[in-house]
Amino acid sequence: MLKKILLAVGSLLVVLVVVVALRPSSYAVTRTTTVAARPEVVFSLVNDFHHWDKWSPWAKLDPNMMVTYSGAESGKGAVYEWAGNADVGKGRMTIRESHPSEQIAIYLEFHEPFASVSDTEFRFQSAPGGTAVTWAMTGNLGFMEKAVGLFMDMEAMIGSDFEKGLAQLSDAAKAAAPPPAAEHP
């Protein structure tokens, strides 16, 4: 009887390993919204890490989070490092590319609660009513990340944070934008 139970458990483990191994080895999460502000206003809030606390969906999760800025003041070469509670973990972002009012590419390194790297990109495009902003993150998944993905999907985990962040970015851009010039008859 014990032999049959061990054989059944072993078979289930083999099936589980095969299912995990066959899962996709990469992920992509993308969200887009239209912000009622000019591209240069929205771009400036993302291109300078000093402004991220105004809109980042993670900025207020840990009031005691330690943040360090280094490298360039903004744009290519700017670095943002953080260390906080379990909600925010520990990591580092570096702006790799910055094309004014068009695109920002960020190399994102998570150190805690798990080690991983991702590429993050923001795209800005003039649109009716303001600026279309696209926030995307891509990365590779190792075996353990694929196994965790059976229970926690990256799209579900990060997608809602991106939506919240884009809504807060919209609010911050509206607050940062100069008021429209008054029309004179």
The pTM score is 0.82
Are 165 and 73 in contact by the 8 Å Cβ rule? The answer is: no
Amino acid at 63: P
Contact assessment for residue 84 and residue 90, using Cβ atoms and an 8 Å cutoff: yes
- Annotate 50-65 with b (16+ C-beta within 10 A) or e (fewer): ebbeebbbbbeebeeb
Sketch out the chain's domains with CATH numbers.
26-176 (3.30.530.20)
| Residue (of 35, 82, 30, 41) closest to 61 by Cα position | 82
What pLDDT, on a 0 to 100 scale, did the predictor assign at position 154? 73
**Predicted local confidence at residue 113, as pLDDT:** 83
Quickly count: other Cβ atoms within 10 Å of residue 171's Cβ. 14
Inter-residue contact 78 to 92 (CB < 8 Å)? no
Please tell me whether residue 25 adopts helix, strand or coil conformation. coil
Confidence (pLDDT) at 156: 79
pLDDT, position 185: 53
Distance, in Å, from the CA atom of 119 to the CA atom of 117, rounded to the nearest integer, reads: 7
**DSSP assignments along 121-142, one per residue:** EEEEEEETTEEEEEEEEEEE--
Place of tokens 């139970």: 5
Per-residue pLDDT 10s for the chain (185 aa) are: 878 787 777 777 777 666 666 566 777 889 999 999 999 999 999 999 999 999 999 888 888 999 999 999 999 999 999 999 988 899 999 999 999 999 999 999 999 887 889 999 999 999 998 999 999 999 877 666 766 666 667 777 788 999 999 999 999 999 887 655 444 45
